[in-house]
Amino acid sequence: MPGQEISTIPSSRMNPPRVVGRERSRPIRWLIVEDALLNRKGHWFEAVSTFSRGFRARGDHVTVLADAAVDPDIRDALTAVAVLPHSIWHRAGDGSGPVKRYARVLVHPWQTRRVLNRFFSAHRDDDAILVPSVGFHHLLAWYWLLKTTLRKRSVRVLLFFLMLPIRWDSQTQRALPDGSPTSRLFFRLLKSLESEIQSGKVVLGAEVEPLRAALEQLAGVRATLFPQIVVPLRSAGQASRAADSPIQMGAYGPPRAEKGSDILQQAISIYLRRFPDGQARFTIHWTEDFAAESGAVISRSPELMQDGRVEYVTRFLSHQEYEEQLCRTQVMLLPYRLSGYRLRGSRVVIESLVNGIPVIATRGTALAEVVRSFGTGVFCEDGDPESLALAIRECEIRYAEMRRLAELNTPIAVNEFSVEAFRRVFLAAGSGLSANSSVRRAETISA
């Protein structure tokens, strides 16, 4: 039953990490390189703008490189240099044939290397380069750059991985390479950077422990767990609520099969039919239809579209609009599938935790473990609309208790997912200090 567990933070989390000495060093000159900075699709703009604002507030200098065709409002907001080749992330799943897709394996890295070589020839004063979302196409380019252009420079490079070319083996309960030719080359390239990693010139980063462990195990080189930087909103999740007033639940970002968007619609239908007097109200972000795992195209539910207790938001939200929506949300719905999120994190779950918003997440996902460690939530079973409907009901019944726990845990999450914590881990990763996981840091500090 989903309602048998409400996550709370272990007592060891209550001790904030010490600031290591090197964090008091001079300001860092960051270069952030992100070709996914193109438009409002996804959370790229929010993530990079949080890095940029956070570093600058700390006194650091920041330069951002974006897709050459980046939307003008994003370019202006970040004062970004629009120079990178067209984003490989935004071309994924565009229906291109195999020849074109495999051609990109070499063309995109070559274009990236050429553009960055020109940029580096005119800019030699960066202390650290942050690549927030590294895929195979990016890794090949950075391998070339690290072995040539950047080889004798003192700059450090943080390659951050949101996902890997891996699959989960249920028999061995381990992550394995997905078997593709690019996955084999991917881990060989990482292994070939071992000397740069050992020296601290290159840092491999991941945002959740399962992905960090898989990266380290399969590549055979050191990888470090980094916190996402998320700045809390002062009024998010904190609106006063009368005992009999509706509870606003939300799911944001483009719908996808791996996010369980089809399961969510089914679960809401079950909940509304079974509990017609229930207090939950739903906002579903639905910017486009998508293909389910079966191949069927999933659209907005005609039944839910007719129900006044459900609101569909059908356009991409500006940064301000998203923050306003987050401030109205009292429970975050994240029924993400194990197939996509067992070893992968999500920025939305961190936004929920630092803003004191209880979460419904899928048991066994990396998201659920983050909620268990730093927030408050109820867990449902993978791909199970019935379980999700019961979790929604559980949140409704126990909302006052969950909100109280979420507010209690919020300062812990805010400390963990801060720019200070990110810089601390980055500096420790280069100094040889242990920074592999937040659990390890907390245990070491409190010992």
pLDDT > 90 in the chain, percent: 70
The DSSP bridge partners found for residue 248 are 281
186 pLDDT band, cuts 50/70/90, is: very high
Q: Tokens 């409400």 label which residue?
A: 6
Q: Which amino acid is at 336?
A: Y
pLDDT for 439 beyond 70: no
CA distance 40 to 44: 8
Q: Band the pLDDT of 433: cuts 50, 70, 90.
A: very low
CATH architecture for residues 11-229+418-446: 3-Layer(aba) Sandwich (3.40)
The more confident residue out of 356 and 39 is: 356
* Residue of 144, 137, 131 whose CA lies nearest to 107: 137
Q: Which residues contact 309 (CB under 8 A, 6 or more apart)?
A: 246, 272, 280, 281, 282
List the single range of 63-67, 280-284, 353-357, 442-446 with lowest mean pLDDT. 442-446
**Which pLDDT does position 447 carry in this prediction?**
20
Between CA 347 and CA 47 the distance in angstroms is 8
User: DSSP letter string over 58-79?
Assistant: TT-EEEEEEETT--HHHHHHHT
> What mean pLDDT is predicted for residues 416-420?
94
pLDDT band at 23 (very low <50, low <70, confident <90, very high): very low
Class of domain 247-415: alpha beta
pLDDT at position 22:
45
Structure tokens at 139: 């890794």
For residues 235 and 139, the model is more confident at: 139
What mean pLDDT comes out for the span 39-57? 88
Q: How confident is the model at residue 6 (pLDDT cuts 50, 70, 90)?
A: low
Give pLDDT, residue 293.
82
pLDDT 10s digits, 200-259: 999 999 999 999 999 999 999 999 999 999 999 865 545 555 667 899 999 999 999 999
Between 173 and 380, the more confident residue is 380
Higher-scoring residue by pLDDT: 25, 36: 36
> If pLDDT is split at 50, 70 and 90, which confidence band does 25 have?
low
Reply yes or no on whether the pLDDT at 354 is more than 90. Answer: yes
Q: What is the pLDDT of residue 92?
A: 61
What integer pLDDT is reported at residue 19 of this predicted model? 37
What's the pLDDT score for residue 136? 86
pLDDT at position 87, please?
78
pLDDT category at 181 given cuts 50, 70, 90 is confident
Q: Is 135 left (phi over 0), alpha (psi -120 to 50) or beta?
A: beta
Distance CA 97, CA 137 (A): 17
SS3 316: coil
- The CA-based diameter of the chain, rounded to the nearest angstrom, is 67
Average pLDDT over residues 18-45: 76
Residue 291's SS3 state is strand
- Reference 44, options 167, 160, 213; nearest CA is 160
User: Mean pLDDT over residues 76-102, rounded?
Assistant: 75
Report whether pLDDT(13) > 80.
no
CB atoms within 10 A of CB 390: 21
Confidence of residue 440 (pLDDT cuts 50, 70, 90): very low
Place of tokens 């809390």: 232
SS3 of the chain: helix, strand, coil, percent, to 5: 45, 15, 40
Give residue-wise pLDDT tens across range 94-131. 556 665 666 667 788 899 999 999 999 998 889 999 99
Q: Is the pTM of this model over 0.85?
A: no
CA distance 337 to 308: 28
The H-assigned helical ranges of 58-155 are 72-78, 98-122, 136-147
Which neighbouring-strand residues pair with 251?
Answer: 284
Please state which of the ranges 44-48, 116-120, 430-434 shows the lowest mean pLDDT.
Answer: 430-434
CB atoms near residue 254 (< 10 Å): 15
Residue 104, exposed/middle/buried by CB under 10 A (0-12, 13-18, 19+)? middle
In angstroms, rounded to a whole number, what is the distance separating the alpha carbons of residues 184 and 162? Answer: 18
What confidence score (pLDDT) does residue 62 get?
A: 97
Task: Report whether pLDDT(16) > 60.
Answer: no
Domains of the chain, residue spans: 11-229+418-446, 247-415
The Cα–Cα gap between 273 and 275 comes to 6
Terminal CA-CA length for the chain: 36
Mean pLDDT, residues 147-171 taken together: 93
423: enclosing H helix or E strand: helix 419-431
Mean pLDDT confidence for 300-310: 97
Looking at every residue in the chain, the average pLDDT score rounds to 87
C-alpha separations of 310 from 187, 246, 283 in Å: 45, 12, 6
**Model confidence band, residue 171 (pLDDT cutoffs 50, 70, 90):** confident
Element (H, E) at 405: helix 399-416
